[in-house]
Each structure stands twice: as C-alpha cells, then as structure tokens.
Structure 1
Amino acid sequence: MRGVALRRSCRWLLVLSFVSNGPGCALLPPSGLENDELRTVAEPFAGAQSDCLPRFPDHDGWYGGDAAYSVPLPISEGRVSLWLFGDSFVERPEHPGERSYPFIHNSIGLSLCDAGGNWHLETFWRTDPSGGPLAFFQPDPDAEWVLRAVRETGDPPYYWPFDGFVVNDVLFVSLLRVARSDPRGPFNLPFRLVGTDLARIENFRDPPSSWQIRISTLSEDQEAFPGSAFARLPDHVDAFTFLDGAAGHSPRVLTRIALRRLARWRPDLSEDLETLVDDSAWAPGLRPEEAAILMDDDASEMSVHFDPLLKQWIAVYSPPSAAIPSAAKPDPDPKPEGSGFIRFRRAASPSGPWSEPENLLEIPELRGTTGGSADPHLFCYAGKAHPQFSTAGRLVITYVCSLFARDQSETEDILERLRETPGLYRPRAISIAFPPDRE
C-alpha cells in the first residue's frame, strides 16, 4: 500500500520469519485454498497467544488509539494478531516524539506472542509525500458517498475499522463510514455514521505496505451498521449490527451473509445481507425496522466468541460510561444500569436468545482514587474480549478511557488534556476470571 511506513514492515517481517522458520519474508506457504471453495479456514487458535498480555506503549511514532479490535491470523501457529485502531495519535514531522493533533482516523497493528512469551507490536499507517501521517484505511475519494459527504459537510469523510475475520484464507475488515456533523449524543461527539463497507485483503501475509485492499459496500443504511462483531459459522458469517437509535441508544440486531457471496470480490454486497426478524426467520436485505432486538442495552463495539469449555457463545461489551460521582456529589442524572462495567451475555447460538447481561468488570478508572471522585470529563468504552490471549477460566479483555467536553467551551482544554495524558486514549488489557463467579 502506497505510503505505509516501510521501516516498520521490514522489522516486523524479520521477527515473524524467525518465529515461523520461514525464509526471508515468506511467513507461511500458501494454504492451497481457492477463493471459490466454500469452506472456512480453521477456527482461530483459541489460547494460542495466552503466554502474553497485550500492551500498547508508545512505540516508533504511535502514541495511542481506541477501538482495539483484534483478529487472530493463521500465521506462525496462530501467534499473530491484527489490531484495528480507530482515531490514533501518531507522530507528525512538526511535532516529533509526542502526541499531536489532528488524529489520523485509523491505524493498524500486528502483534506477535512468541514461544518465549515475549510480546511484540508494530503499528502501521500511511504517509503523504511530505511525510505527514494518513489513516491506513482510506475511502475512495471518487466514491459517490464520499463526494456526497464533502458536498454536505465541506470535509472529507473517513473510516473507523470495526471487527474483522478470516475466511477462505482472505482477511475481511468492516469499515464504518464516518462524516463530520454538529456535536451530538450524550458525549457531544462531532460525527455521524453514514454506512458500512467491507475491506477484502487476500495477501494479508505480505507486509502491510503491500496489502491489496478492495472495498465493497456492505450497507448504505444510516441507522443500522453491520460489523460490531462477527461470528463465523460453517456456511455464513453472522454480523452483529448496532442501531443508531434515538438519544444515543444502540441496541444490537443480527445480520448475516453467506460465504458463497464472499468467494470473489464484488463492489456491492448490500443485497446479499439477511436480517434476523424473529427467533428463526431471516428476511432478505438489511431491515432495521423489522429486526429482532437481541441485546437492548447500549454498545456499538463488542466482541463475540465461542467458549469451548462453557460450550456457549459469549458477547463482551461496555456501554459508554462517564465517571461515577463521589458520595458527596451525587449525580443529578442517574446512570443507566450497567454503566461503569464491562458486561457479558451468553447464548447457545449467535442468533440467541441471549441471556440477560451480567457484570464482568467494574472499570476502575471510573470510580476514581480512594477518598476522591473520578474526573467528571472521563468516559470509558470499547470493551471487548480477545480469546486468543485467554486461558481456561480466564479471559483477556480490553477497554479505552478518554475525555469528553460537556459543552463547546471546554473543547480546547479537553483536547489539550488528552494530548498531555499518556494513560488515556490507549487500550488497557486485563486478564480476569471467567466466568466471574470462579473467583
């Protein structure tokens, strides 16, 4: 890919080629699967990276990002993961060695947990001809939706990556289409979502600088967004889909796409989606107004995986949560149930029915320090699980904490505080007992 920092790719490949005992940059031999063979690759290596707990330090010009979806890749015996970050702090030529604005709207990472339990992470983004940073995933500037967003807002839209999966030895990544807007929602965030695309990468074993990324339209709906999480099944992929509802609510519904529709690249996949409309019936197309609500609490980001010991599907997520006031200063606007927690649900099938939510972890940053309350501008979000790093009875989860401006007058101060606070706007990984009643 033009403009990606090649120095990161080369160093990364040296590490990988050593671990996989492969020559040069040939990480693994080709799988032999043809794209039109209707079968999936092996399930991701659950626990194959459990010797490591993910860490996201400042490194080589990358200074933090949110989202932190992970996709285990069939490389080096399952010891490699792709990380998908949203808005990211990266080094700018005019501000070397520090966080600076503006964000780039996405970056990626490749992590390796080697046989000795050592954690390696390399991060990637594009650069322009003058060396300025650019997002790794970028919309086609000539796409109609891009031109429309520019006409309506005066600014180019961008992508935020959501979940990904590997099938037929091809990597797929869901990309939210994002356009600027007036601040909206409980956290006064200045964007709106205008659709979803699906990136297809057939040569993901190559350096990211060489990835050939082909984009398909997944949905142009501006109320329902597939790709919050994916679940691979034998003949289709389930796509958990969040609704951008009134007052910032984001319940989840389920869509799916048959594997045969992913066998070859096509520019538009939107007509291939199906929507779960009740406990067992699927309707063609994306139908948010008819969709069965599987999870009625709020979370746009989540993870879904199958737990082989519990023999259940597990969904992990966190409703976006603001700081919890101290007892001396009670909150005049009570928080919704589950606020301040990473939560989980269980089901026998991705299509449900899903259990009622259970609390998995109280987010410590939102409780503040002993004897004091947390920063009233603090909020935490992006909770999800990463089963490739987990072991029997323990689950690795990540979440991100940031700051929000309660009104426009606070924006400049909040942005500067975020830039100067390295512990914020950076994924935090924790290993906890699972199910939580094990402790």
Structure 2
Amino acid sequence: MLQHYKKINPQMTQIFIYEIGESCDSFSLINLRSYVLKQSVAIKTETEFVLMTDVHRLSIKIMEMEEFEKPFRENEQGWLGSDCAFSLPLTDERVLWLFGDTFVAASESKDSLNREQSKIINSSIAIQKKRIITSKGALRFFWNMQKDQPQSFFQNHKLAGFLWPLSAALVNGKIYVFAVRIVQTDIQSAFGFKQIGNEILCIENPDDTPAAWRIRVSYLPFAETGVSFGAYARLYPPYLYLYGYRKETDDWQGPLNLIIARVTMDGSTDVADYKSWEYLNGENMTWSKDAKRLRPVVRHSRSELSVTYLEALKRYVFVANHWKAPHPILIRLSETPFGPFSEPRTIYCCPETEWDPDYFCYAAKAHPQMVTAKNELVISYMVNSKTLHKCVRDMRIYYPRFIKAVIDGYE
C-alpha cells in the first residue's frame, strides 16, 4: 500500500518517493501517476521508490531517456518507425537491431517523411556502428528493395505468410535470428494476426554488409503445440539460454507462459539443431533432452522480454510488460537464468496510454550493452494504437522508447 509520497522541485522535475508493501500492483502506480498529473503540469522525468520483492527490498530510480530515442526518430533514411527493437552486440562497437512491422518513406524527399505516404514492410534492421547510440550517425537502417519498392528485410516465400523477427544470438561467428511466421486474419484489427510457425534464420557471414548476408533457414517443430522460442536469447556460460512462450489460447492477445531451453556452447554448436537442446520442466526445475517434458516456469509472460544479470543485486532480472492492460513494465528476480522467479513487481507505468484510449504499450526488454553502471537496466518499450490511422498520423508513437532503472538492493 502507498505509505508516503512527496513532490520535489515541481517547477523543474517531479520525483515520486513511495513505499509499496507485499500487495504492490500496477493500480497503485497508475493512481499515483493520475493524481500527480491532475495536480501539476510539470513533466515527469524521474521516479524514485522503494519496492518489496519476495527476496529483496529494492531502491529503484526510474529515468526517462529521450536521448536514446533520437537516433531512431531523427534518421535521414526514411525509416519512420517500427516495433520489436531487439538488440544484439556483435562487437564492442557494432550492434544489430531487429524490428518488426516498419514504416518506410515512399521516397527520399523531405515532403514524404511522414507515414501517410509511406509503405509498411514486415521487418527491418539497423546496424549501430558506434558504441554510444547517441553519437551522430550511429544507426544505419536496412531493408530490401524490389522494383524501387521497399520490401521486408527477412523473407522466406516457401510458406504462406510473413516473418516477424524476435531475438538473436551470436554463436561461433554466426547470427541466429529467431522469427515467427504470421498470417493476417483481419486487416482492420491491430490484433488480426495468427502465428503459424517458428523459424531460425542463420546469418553465416555477419561481418559483411547486410545486403550480402547469406541466410540459412531452419524450422522449429513446436508451433502446433502452441510453443515458440525467441522471446529472448542470452549466453550465460556454458549455456545459451533460449526463452520462449506457450500460448494458452489462439487469441493473439491471450496469456502466454514462459518456457526455457538451453544449448551447451562449444566450437561446433549449431543453435538451430533443436534436438541438441535441453528443455526445462518448470514444475520440478529439471532439464531433459525430451521436448515433451517441457513445462512453463512462469505463467502470464510475454512474447518479448529479457533476462539479464544485474551485478549490484547478484540476481538475474526478468523484464517484460504485464500481460493485462494497461501493460505496465514489471520485473522478477532469480538466482539463476532459468528461475524460479519471484512474483512480478511493477516498476513503471507507461504514460502514453493516457494520451489516447486506443494506445497500448508492449515489447519491454533490457539492453545490457547500453548501461554505464552495475546497478542499471536500460529498458526499451513500444507504443502502438489499436487503430491503424492513429498510428499513421501520430508520429510520437511507434518508435522505441527508453527508460533507465537504477536499482540497489538491501535486505
């Protein structure tokens, strides 16, 4: 419950300090935000609070990082916004960014740099060539072109539908991109999609320019059982951990349960060889080569998330949006990369949902290469609209948005 609250320097910034007991929930934070918005027109840039988890009492400071958004918004290539925004460091100064449905300008004319004259493609990428993303010219965006028309970067026309990229891993000099195969079921609905497959795209020559990449496609056999992998992938030696989800219903907005697999890393590892994976039984926390023994470790997860190690806490931190509206950003803690995880605790309520009743937030995940201290998480999330025309007209949304969470723990 809310125990105390105060505003500091409302003319310049607002800092909220409050303590939350065991019943911490998103509604407390939402009501607090609504109260403050009604009391002052000052722009909230920082939030501080104390948060109780199952294991730790955490001191958390949240900062909204608009400077991280500018390289995406202010590019001159005609890339006009997208979602997903997974990142994969390739070297100390080279990062791959993966995007889903993307608005691309119809031409290079400045008059066409709006979404009303753009084309939507199903995937694009960016290569960050500087360690600091805020450096001028740090991002260069890529997609395919055919007959002077923008086309999706990731394509596989052997099957129906199209591909949405998810997370990726760099293993033995190759990039493995997880993707889901999608068919559109209702062109008028923001959620009129159905997943029909799960693929791994192996980029065999990632040091070359993306236009010259050779991509080998492998198919995962789990889609018919509602299982998909690619929600996140991260190396914690000696394993590469592969996070996924199991759908409870066919509804695109329905709840998902977190599942985990892992593969031992050595010089001959082929991530696409799912028969070499171990699968976690989340009910008894045991591993098996038998995929039929796979069981969820967390209920009500998301299709995009992250599990990163926070040195300051000596814990792994799960980051995702809550599965129910208004989809605040939450964390869970664990002593291992695979759980068991603590109960979810909300750390941030996305303010954009207050702009319009059709707006929603999703795709929250951490980007470890962007931190500058051992107690930080840099988290991106997306804002979209349930109606396409609002997404087309409102250039504030459908770009990656970033927050920084500074987290310190004490017993």
Superposed pair shares fold, TM > 0.5: yes
**CA, structure 1 residues 121+286, in 2 after alignment: closer, same or farther (shift >3 Å)?**
same
Identity among equivalent pairs (%): 29
Q: For 2:294 and 2:222, how far apart are their aligned partners in 1?
A: 17
Which residue is equivalent to 1:84?
98
CA RMSD of aligned residues (A): 2.8
Which residue is equivalent to 2:362?
381
Which residue is equivalent to 1:69?
86
1:205 paired residue among 181, 204, 207:
207
Once the two structures are superposed, residues 67-92 of structure 1 have per-residue CA deviations (whole angstroms, 9 ceiling, x without a partner) of 10111112xxx132111111000122
Residue 388 of structure 2 aligns to a residue whose secondary structure is helix
Q: Is the 8 A contact 2:232 2:304 kept in 1?
A: yes
Q: Is the 8 A contact 1:63 1:90 kept in 2?
A: yes
Q: Is the 8 A contact 1:217 1:270 kept in 2?
A: no
TM-score, normalised on structure 1?
0.69
Which residue is equivalent to 1:291?
294
1:126 paired residue among 144, 151, 154:
144
Residue 253 in 1 paired to residue 269 in 2?
A: no
TM-score, normalised on structure 2?
0.74
2:305 paired residue among 302, 306, 309:
302
Q: Is the 8 A contact 1:400 1:425 kept in 2?
A: yes
Residue 98 in 1 paired to residue 98 in 2?
A: no
Q: Give the C-alpha shift of residue 362 in structure 1.
A: 1.5
Q: Give the C-alpha shift of residue 182 in structure 1.
A: 4.4
Q: Give the C-alpha shift of residue 365 in structure 1.
A: 1.4
Q: Is the 8 A contact 2:231 2:245 kept in 1?
A: yes
Q: Is the 8 A contact 1:279 1:352 kept in 2?
A: no
The number of residues matched between the two structures is: 333
**CA, structure 1 residues 132+117, in 2 after alignment: closer, same or farther (shift >3 Å)?**
closer
Matches within 5 A, 1:309-328: 309-320=312-323, 322=325
Q: Is the 8 A contact 2:101 2:123 kept in 1?
A: yes
Q: Is the 8 A contact 2:68 2:133 kept in 1?
A: no
Instruction: Report which of the two has the higher share of strand.
Output: 2
Matches within 5 A, 1:351-370: 351-366=338-353, 368=354
Q: For 1:305 and 1:115, how far apart are their aligned partners in 2?
A: 20
Residue 263 in 1 paired to residue 269 in 2?
A: yes
Structure 2 unmatched runs, 5+: 1-64
**CA, structure 1 residues 262+256, in 2 after alignment: closer, same or farther (shift >3 Å)?**
farther
Q: For 1:321 and 1:365, how far apart are their aligned partners in 2?
A: 16
Write the letter of the residue equivalent to 2:327: G
Q: For 1:321 and 1:353, how far apart are their aligned partners in 2?
A: 22
1:340 paired residue among 327, 340, 343:
327
Once the two structures are superposed, residues 217-262 of structure 1 have per-residue CA deviations (whole angstroms, 9 ceiling, x without a partner) of 2334230111101131334322111112125111111122333596
Q: Is the 8 A contact 2:127 2:139 kept in 1?
A: yes
Write the letter of the residue equivalent to 2:286: A
Matches within 5 A, 1:30-41: none
Residue 121 of structure 2 aligns to a residue whose secondary structure is coil
Residue 129 of structure 2 aligns to a residue whose secondary structure is strand
2:242 paired residue among 236, 239, 242:
239
Q: Is the 8 A contact 2:180 2:195 kept in 1?
A: yes
Once the two structures are superposed, residues 135-175 of structure 1 have per-residue CA deviations (whole angstroms, 9 ceiling, x without a partner) of 11111x23xxx1xx3xxxxxxx1111111111222221111
Q: For 2:140 and 2:345, how far apart are their aligned partners in 1?
A: 34
Once the two structures are superposed, residues 347-395 of structure 1 have per-residue CA deviations (whole angstroms, 9 ceiling, x without a partner) of 11122111111212111112x2xxxxx4111111011111111122332
Write the letter of the residue equivalent to 2:174: V
